[in-house]
A and B are shown apart, each in its own frame.
Chain A
Amino acid sequence: MDSALLSLLGAFLLSMIGLFAFIWSLRKGLLVENPRAASVIFAKGEIGRVDDPALQGSDHAKLQAAAHEAGDSTDGADAAEIADRVAADRSSAFPVFMFIAFACMWLLFGGIAGLVSSLKLHWPDWLVSEAWMTFGRLRTVHLTAVLYGWITNAELGIIIWLMPRLLRTPLVGTMWLMLGGALVNIAIASGIGAIGAGWTDGLEYLEMPWPIGIFFAAGMVCIIGPVLYTLVNRKTESLYVTTWYHTAGLLWITLLFIVGKMPGVHFGVQQAAMNWWYGHNVLGLWFTPVAVGAIYYFLPKIIARPIRSYNLSLLGFWTLAFFYAQVGGHHLVGGPVPGWLITLSIVQSMMMIVPVIAFSINMGLTLRGRMRLGLYSPTLRFVMFGGIMYLLSSLQGSFEALRSVQQVAHFTHFTVAHAHLGAYGFVTMVLFGAIYFMMPRILHFEWPYPKLISVHFWLASIGILIYFVFLSYGGWLQGLAMLDPARPFIDSVVVTMPWLQWRSVGGALMVASHVVFVLHFLAMVLRLGPNRVGAALFADQGKALGVAHGE
């Protein structure tokens, strides 16, 4: 056996041993369910009391009525714990608002850049007179704006909002968070400007020039500090699932970015291997864990039932940590990189089925018989949609990594469709749901036009489904045409045309949903629209906090 194969086997075995070691070290009551740990997101007496801040009074009552189950306690929630939560929310409101506002701006901007790029693929002579408008730059502007601008800002906002809530302690180091947020967004804005002007590092997902990347990394370090300090100073004994994912995600993205951006180290095909390891893991170790962590909080919180199995979530977390990080090499299948590298990534891609199934079983059991609550709460609908898309996109991704599938799918729009199912159908939809939940708590003001939340949901979900289904089909046809030596290459271009046009239709719906969302957000921030409860809410401060926190 040669050294490459040995190292491959070594990495795999090490992961397995590490996995079992970690689970074993946390074995206390591993086989006994731990409902107390699963319930830490609720105050005493709060289980059974639904919580969707995006719903107005009467709709909230309907959701409550629908969620009622025999045996629910009728006592109020523990006032001291609610007071802790109010203090936690108040401590984080300002920085979280900053991150969410930046995220909304980048979403609108990045979505439009994406739609224009999509249109350019079937109108190739449209907007070509200036260099910054060309497809190669505009698609990269889109990618940087949505991945770093929208998803990263929104996830940072969610992490910072949930940490103090889950740890029952006020956030410390707010000024550092504001500084970090400023640095991160300076980096994103300068990165986008640089790409438009043609200054890029040229590596997919890592285009932001490295001198600008320093600002991003510095910003992330400023953010990690206060988050870890809050973690150490917590009042709760047990750490909830969401906290694991969010702490891990923050550390991973920072390390990942620093390793990936290190100037002058990577070269040739090794750089290509690193590039795709980064590209896959910015999704796997940052977007996914934070969005999964958010589902673990918001879904049970809205329906007011703890997750079914705390231990299953433990298994899901550690398997994700050990398997996902070694994925990415399979993006170079058939390329000039060592074969063992690709095999390792394919094996770990298949292993990723374990955490995905663990998550899905857990959520499925938690939601069993309660799916209909989605009819009453658009926020819940966003989160549920995201959870289902996580299952689908991850299973698709595992099988897509296989050599036989990649033979066709590699180098085609099929991969693009898959990436959007993950980043939009799953992550972005969860982020939308989380923002609808958080904003009324942050601003102490209701969403002014609750009907728009449903409009947003339907536009976005129909948009992404059109995008995914049609583009996947077109991409598959493209792959078959490309693989057939008897057909000229241009066939693989011509065959995609109708599907590229459908992609623009789906993209237009998604952008329309963003316009609705961002205008609604602005209306809320500017306190426009019908002033239903606002006046009463602020007339009586004691009651105001009660209303705002589910009392």
Chain B
Amino acid sequence: MDLELFSRATENLKRQKFRSLLTLLGIIIGIGSVVALISIGDGFNKSVEKEFEKMGSNTLIILPGSSFMSSVFAKLEKKDVDRIEAIKGVESATPLFLASQTVGFKEEKKSALLVGIDTKKQDLLEDIGLLSIGEGRNLTSSDSFSVLIGKRFSEEKFDSEIELKQKLVLDGSYLRVVGITKSAGQSFGAAFDSAIVINYKTLEEITGEELTPFRIFAKAVNKKEVSEVKERIKKELKKAHGKEDFQIMTASQIQESALSILGLIQMVLVFIAGISLVVGGIGIMNTMLMAVMERTREIGIMKAVGATNTIILSLFLVESGVIGLIGGFIGYVIGFSIALIGGMIASSSGINLIIEFNPLLLFGSLAFAFLIGMISGFIPARRASLMEPVEALREE
């Protein structure tokens, strides 16, 4: 008999196609936007996780400044790299330098970002997923005026695409492109993607400036020891600098904070989208109140021929639940499609967004939509069930 309640409910809905569609709209929009937001949010989470997986959980990052503001004034020293490498439990460490310079290519001159690396240590950069070669070769310790360029840099920086073996001009010196990095398109490799990667000593030579590390990357020997290694580095650097004017982050720490920020944004958006669900629920309630009024005589007849209040209640409850369910299903399909399209657009513009089918989200949104329908239908259904059979019957 329970299954028949469903078929009765769908029959009733079919009779009122246009009104049912209007009623569904609220739930469709609500569930659709929630599904789209959750799918896209999960997609971002997955790409962040993937990024950190590449980096490895035994990576430590040392930044200047104890807070974001003071990082402008505080500086790391080149010697810090040697100090860190000497610490027990550290496998290796390497600095990263940043400089902005005017670079010429053919007839053009443009301001470009230069990333200085220690060419003896680039295996570490590759290891933690910061640098990977797409075309050509990597730099070696003997390279000084040979450089790598980012994929995006090669394609977009200048009017014509920069190819391997072509030359860039920096402060009168020629830099030969020996390799192009793989398109990273993600948070960490992104710096390399639109920059020139150069031996930091050459950079210092050309610019005539003493550079200080903008980041130092270190790798712990043992994953389990990361937090102990972090403490040792902290102690050592504090001793050398005389104060704590730096910050040490572990990959998992950054991952956590990135994920929690993403989660918060997602929650706020889903909450806003959820408001449309409330509106959708009110729409269902309105439709069901009208249905109860229209079917007053029918309710009287059913009660006269033996329908209990419970049957009338469940009849209307299931009907409103089915409105929710249908709306939820259509909403899910639309919402997931939007997420898929969003993922494609993001990928084509270089952001890695992994949209995956999540059965839990499907069943969750269906169940939730059904529930919203039932809750919204409760007051009308109760009103129907409590009708006096005689009054309902004699109603014309």
A pairs with B: no
